[in-house]
Structure 1
């Protein structure tokens, strides 16, 4: 059981925790290619694809040289009604074309991951008002600090840990140990919040850190950790723990 009243540090993932991909942009690119798609349908497909993406990434093993962003697009579009029905050759060609447009060679994740999720700034302000230290712990490509700066979220955070800079990535517990060392936090008084079970839950627990998982549409069929819809709900838990 998580001792919410004792938590003084909150670790937060970035992608699909604080910032989402620009679904409006992706929907426009699909529509321009005669694939009718609304941003909200794409948002729902992306969330629905997360369990399968997590399982494939961390359980099945990824061949050396695999293009992870292409895999991410593939599993997401497989859950989108307008693209799931395409013939395999058309589907693959669409993924390849979108990959070039959305993540051109030499660009970082911040080009696509740039939409601040609903009520995130308000939730972060609530954490700060409660006196919580806030720390980013993200699997990224060295651009996560730029991403949160461009999104206007950097002032909320005391420490930013980017896996490409730290040298470890979730679920390796060493990235959490690194974040604990840099922030001066202790695992028993730290709560991690993220959206991918095999990265965030497994990794945090490996470092002795408490964890809450984000599952906005109840897509994950797991029962060994608390799941909530968003970071606002995590702020509710911490406030209730103070009473």
Structure 2
């Protein structure tokens, strides 16, 4: 479900959903679930931005409804089963088994800590993120975890970046942001005056107009930039 705090889903989301269905005797193709999830996620995010906070939803309600709709789109319609699977998956995605650290994440974060950098997370995710990062043994690297749910604003809204700068006590010109989305991460951070780096594993998105010195093929490349600085 995206990279959050240098962690990513351990395997395709459709595989996790299909495994949950199999545990209840239901066979659904993982690829079909993956496609359905993407379709439902886009619609849910447009109808209820940032977990529906302004419409009175909780993030758990938002996710449970999304998962149920995903399964419905692939032909599963029994209400009790849908609720059970959705609640199980909501809980399971708070554990380390569904997430893994990106290559080079631990070493890069440790080196940054040793150099005295103050670090935090700005994420368009819900408040499970802190526990996820703890489970993945990454939480201790960060002074704060700022989710869009707790901030009340989602990237690319400049207000979430300003909250993060306030929490860090660092002016924007002395801060840098690393993310893998051009508009929500790279451009948004630059818009508030921060330095910004775009993580592009495998050279993805080379068509974007980003100066080569702002592109990180891997997190480990950040250490080389720090050494040069």
Flag whether TM exceeds 0.5 (same fold).
yes
1:151 matched residue in structure 2? 136
Q: Contact (CA 8 Å) 1:140, 1:162: kept in 2 or not?
A: yes
Q: Is residue 2:74 matched to residue 1:93?
A: yes
| Aligned residue number for residue 166 of structure 2 | 181
Q: CA RMSD in A?
A: 4.1
Q: What's the offset of the Cα at 1:219?
A: 2.1
Cα distance, 1:92–1:34 mapped onto 2, change above 3 Å: closer
Aligned with residue 197 of structure 2, among 208, 212, 219: 212
Moved over 3 A (4+): 24-37, 63-71, 94-98, 100-109
d(CA) in 2 for partners of 1:158, 1:17: 12
Could you report, residue by residue, the CA deviation over 1:105-141 in whole angstroms, capped at 9, with x for unpaired residues?
7548535752112221111111112221111111111
1:150–1:229 CA distance, 2 compared to 1 (3 A): same
Question: Contact 2:153 / 2:159 at 8 angstroms: preserved in 1?
Answer: yes
Tell me the CA shift for residue 62 of structure 1: 2.5
How many pairs align?
197
CA contact under 8 A between 1:163 and 1:175: conserved in structure 2?
yes
Partners of 1:95 and 1:184 lie apart in 2 by 49
Q: Distance in 2 between matches of 1:139 and 1:117?
A: 18
SS of residue matched to 1:217 = helix
Which residue pairs with 1:228 in the alignment?
A: 216
1:62 corresponds in structure 2 to: 46
Shift of 1:147: 1.1
CA contact (8 A) 1:108 1:143 kept: no
Find the residue that maps to 1:110 and give its secondary structure: coil
Contact 1:103–1:109 (Cα < 8 Å) also in 2: no
Higher relative contact order (CA 8 A, sep 6+): 1
Determine if the alignment matches structure 1 residue 110 to structure 2 residue 98: no
Residue 160 of structure 1: how far off its partner (Å): 1.7
**Which whole-Å CA distance do the structure 2 matches of 1:231 and 1:102 have between them?**
33
User: Cα distance, 1:24 vs. partner?
Assistant: 6.8
Structure 2 Cα separation of the partners of residues 116 and 206 of structure 1: 28
User: Where in structure 2 are there 5+ consecutive unaligned residues?
Assistant: 53-61
**Residue 121 (1) aligns with residue 106 (2):** yes
| Pair 95,15 (structure 1): closer, same or farther in 2 beyond 3 Å | farther
Q: Find the aligned partners of 2:155 and 2:222 in 1 and give their Cα distance.
A: 21
Cα distance in 2, alignment partners of residues 171 and 25 from structure 1: 24
Q: Distance in 1 between matches of 2:129 and 2:122?
A: 9
TM-score, normalised to structure 2's length? 0.67
TM-score by length of 1: 0.64
